[in-house]
Structure 1
Amino acid sequence: MKLSLAIVALALAVPSNGFAQDSTAVSSDREYPNTFSSGSANISPFTNKSKRFNDWAISFGAGVPLVQSADLTSIKNGNGKDLFGYSAYVSIDKAITHAFGINLQYDRGETRQGWFNTKKDAPANASANQQIGARTQYDAISLIGDINLSNLLRRVDNNSPYRWALHGYAGLGTLAYRAYQKDETGDRMVTEVKPFKLGSMFAQAGAGIKFKVNRRIDLEGRVMYAITGDDEFDGGGNKYSAINQQEEQVSDNFFNATLGLSLKLGKHESHLMWHDPLQEIYYKLDVLANKNQEIEVCKKGDLDNDGVCDDWDRQPDTPAGARVDGAGVALDTDLDGVIDLHDQCVTVPGPVENNGCPTEKTPTSGETVTDSSTTLEGIEFDLNSDRILPSNTPILNNAVSYINSSSGTYTVVGATDTRGSEAYNIKLSQRRANNVKDYLIQNGVQSDKLNAVGKGEKNLKHPECNPATKCPEWKNKANRRVYFEAK
C-alpha cells in the first residue's frame, strides 16, 4: 500500500501540537484595567494563558475489523468460521468543551471476508461454486466529533472518583482501499479506490468506554461502525458481477473493535474532558458550608461614642452629643465653622465668638475693622487652600467700605493652622494675605493703604492647638484665617 494517506495525516497532525496550552495563570497585562474593563486587575483577554485545563491529546490503538453488511462478509460464512482482519489508528484530539471535542483520525487495516481465509489455499471448484475468499486493505482519514455522554448525563455525586466515561463518536472522511479476490486460480486485485475522490467518502459512528489511568493516560475500548457507500469494498468485483448480485445492499459496511490509549498533553493537572462543572460547583459549596469564618466588625472600637467605628471615622475625637455624618465628622449645617452642637444659630452663619450667630453691630464697629480692633472675623480658608470662599465676600465688601472711609493704613495678615511645616505654613499664609489684599484693591481700596504679611502658625485664634495636640476640625478651621491690623 502506498503511504500517501499516512503522510498527509502526519502533516496535518504535527502543527496542531504546537497550539497545546501550557499555562495555568490568569493574570492581567499592562493594558488592564482600562476604559473597556470593570477596573479589576484580574481582568485579562481570553487567551491560552487564561485556560485552566489541558485540551489536547494523542490517541492510538489497534483492533479487529469485521465486514458485516456485504455480499462477502467476515461473520459466519459458508463453513461457519469467522474471518478476522486487523486495524490500527492514530488521532489528534481537541476538546472544545467539557462535553464535546473533535478528533482528526487516521485508520489503516485489512478486512478478511468470504468463504475462506485468503492466507490459505482455496477449495477446489471455488469459482464454480462461488466460494470466493477476499481481503481488503484500506487507509482512511476522517474528522470525528466526540461527545462525552458521561458529562452530559451522569448524576452529581461527590463521592464518585469519576474515572470512567462513556463517549459517542460520529464523523466523515475519505476512504482508499485495494480489494483482492482469491479462488483456485489464484489471488488478484479486483478493485482499487484512490483517496480524496467523490466516491471515496465514507461515514463512521460508534461508542467507547474510557478509563482514566492517571492525569496523563486514558485507556479506551471502542467499537465503530463504518459505512463505505460502496458495493465493491468486500472484494466481490464489479458491482454487476455475479457475486455482487447475491445481496441487495449497495453499501459494504464493517465493524471495527479497537483497544487504545490516549496521551493527554499540557502542563495542567486535569484534562477538560474529565472536568464536570456541576461537580466543581457542588464541591465548592461544600467547602464554603464547612468553612467557619469569623468576621470582626469595628475592630478598633468607637473611642468617641459617635456611632461610627474608628476603622473609618475621619474625626475620632467628636465632642460628646454631637451629630455626625457617615464618616464620623461633626455636622455644621450653616458651614460657619461652629458645629451644630455648639452653634446657637444652626441655620444662620455667624462668628465663632458669637456662638455661631450673626452679630448686630454695624460694619464700622463689628464685622470689619475698627481702630481699636485688630481682627476681622469670618475670613477662613479650606485646608491647604488660599482660595477666597464665597461666604467671605460680604465681609470683605464691608471692609472695602470701611478702609476707604478711613484715613489709616492696614496690614492684611494671613494665618494657618498648626498642621504642616513652619516654612510651608509661612508661604501658604502669605498667599492667603496676598489674595485678600488683591481682592480689596480690585474692589476699590487704594493700594498704598494696604500691606500683606504671612505669619503662618503665629497668633492663633485657638492657641491650645499645636502639633502635639490633636484639635477638632472646627478649631483648625478657625485658625486658618486672614485678619487686619491697623497701623
Structure 2
Amino acid sequence: MANKKYTVMLGLLGLISTASFAQEVTTVETTTTTTTTTPVNLHKTYVGTDADNAWVYNSEMVKNADQQNRFVTDAYPYPAKPRNMWELSLGVGPSFLISSIDPTLGYGATFSLRKAVGHVFSIRPQYGFHIMYGHDYRARTSALSATPYLHNYRTNMHQGSLDLLASLNAISGYRGNSKVDWYLLAGYSFNSARVGVNVDGGQKLAGVTGSRSDIRSKVKDAFSSEDNPFLSLEDNKRYETIVLDRGDGSRSNAVGSEDRINRHGLNYGMGVAFKVSPRFNIGVEQKFTTVLNNSDILAGLAVQPQGRNATVSSTQLKFNFNLGSSARAIEPLWWVNPNNYVYSELKSTKPLPDADGDGVTDQFDLEPNTPAGCAVDTRGRSLDTDGDGVPDCRDKQVVTPNTWFPVDADGVGTDPCCNQAPVVVAADCAITSLPSVTFSGSSVNLSSGAESALANAASQLNANPNCKVKVVAYGSSNKRAQQLSWDRANVVRNYLVERQGISESRIIFQYGNDGNANAVDLYPTTEEGPSTVPAPFPHLQKS
C-alpha cells in the first residue's frame, strides 16, 4: 500500500514539475519579447551579475517606486526592495516518532509556501501529514489491557506549522548568486493526531522471547506478513484500540474530540536546496518537532502520569516552484546576492570628465576652459589673488593695490603718486597654488582629507620660507554665517600653527567673504595682513 502511495505522489510531482518547466520557457520568451520593446526610461537596478543573467527591473517591480525614482536620480542612496516571488513546495519522505517505544519508519508529505523577508530570512507556513509506527520489545500491562501485551502503535498526524528560515550563504563578497541554498529553520506547530494500538495482536506476541533485536525482528515480520504464526489477517490490517486524550483518566487537556490528541510543538532543523532553473529547485530537509505536554501519548502510552515529550522526525525530499510573473517580480531573495549590485557599480564606474584638466570635474567647474598650468579654487576658477581680473598664472604683479587699478593685460597697475607704472619685481614666493579644505553642514571639525590637504600646504610653505598663506573663509549672509566663517578660518589657522609648525606671522586671516560657505581657500602670497582677528559674535562661537 505504501509503495502505491509513493508511486502516485511521485507521479503527481512529475506532472507539476513538467508544467513548471513549460511555464518557465513561456515566461522567458515573453520576457525577451518585452525587453526589446521596453521604453528607454527603465529604472535600472542590477541584483545579479552578467554571468547570472542579471535582473534589470523598473519601477513596476519594486514596492516603493518613489524611492527607486529618487535612487536613480541620485537623490537617495539606496535602491528600493524588489518584489520577489513566492515559493511553493511539495515534499515527501520518511517520518518516525522518537519516544519510549522503538520507532519503525513511516512516511509523510508536506505542502508549504515560502516568502522572503530579506536576503537572509524568510517565513514559511506549512501543512504536513505523517503516518508513524512503533513496535515495543517489552511486554507490559496498562489501562488498555490488563493482559500482558507487546505495545505496537500507528499514529496518523496532521501538522500545521509556521517557521522562520535563515539562509546561510545568500550574501557573499566573492561570487554572484548562489546555486545552493543552505538554511536553518525554527518555528511553532500545532499537531493533531489519532493513535491506534494493536492490543489484540500484542497479546498474542507477548510470549515472543529472545534479544531485543530478535523480538523486534519477529514483531516486524508478524506485522508485514499475511501468513504468520502470531496474527490473523484481520489483526494484521488494523490497530483496533484508539488511545483517548481524556476519558480514561490519564489526560485532561484535550482540545476537540476525545479520539484526537492535540498538542503544541517547537520546530527546528536544517535543509539544502539546489537550483535547477530560475523557476525550479530540489531540496532535502531534516525537520524535528518536539511535541509538548506529555506527548508520549502520541506513541499510545496513555497511562504514564508524567510521560516524556515525544519528537517527530521528518526527512523530506522537496520539489520547489517559484510562483509569479517574471515581468513583475524576481526570483526569491535568498537566491539573490545583494552585493552583486555594489560590485557591478564599482566595475562600471569611470572617471568623471575634466575637459580643462584643472582637477575639478566638468560637473562642478564654473570655468570649464581654464588655461593649462593655472591654479584654481574649489569651483575650478583661476586664482586671482588681487582681484584685478588677470589670473595669477598670467599676472606679472600678483598683488596689485586697489588704488593702482585699472591694470594692463599683464595685471600691472599704475602708481597714482607718480602716474607711471611701477617697476615690476619678481615675486619671491614660488608657490603657485595651495589646496582648499571643505566642511560639511555646520561642522567646524577637520576631516582626515582636510588634514591631509593642510599637511601638504604646510610642506610647501616650509620649502618656501618667503611665502605666506592667506586663509580665506566665506559666509556673510547673517551673524551666524559670519561667525561660522570665522570659526572655520580659525580652525585652519590653528592647525597650521599648532600641528604643522607654521609661524603665525606667515598667516593672513580673512573671513566673511562672499563665496562657498563650506570651503576655506588657501592662497600663497607675500603681502602683509593680520594673522588673526577677534571673533565677530563670540556668543555664537563654536570652536
TM-score by length of 1: 0.47
Q: Normalized per residue, which structure has more helix?
A: 2
TM-score by length of 2: 0.43
Based on CA coordinates, which of the two structures has the bigger radius of gyration? 1
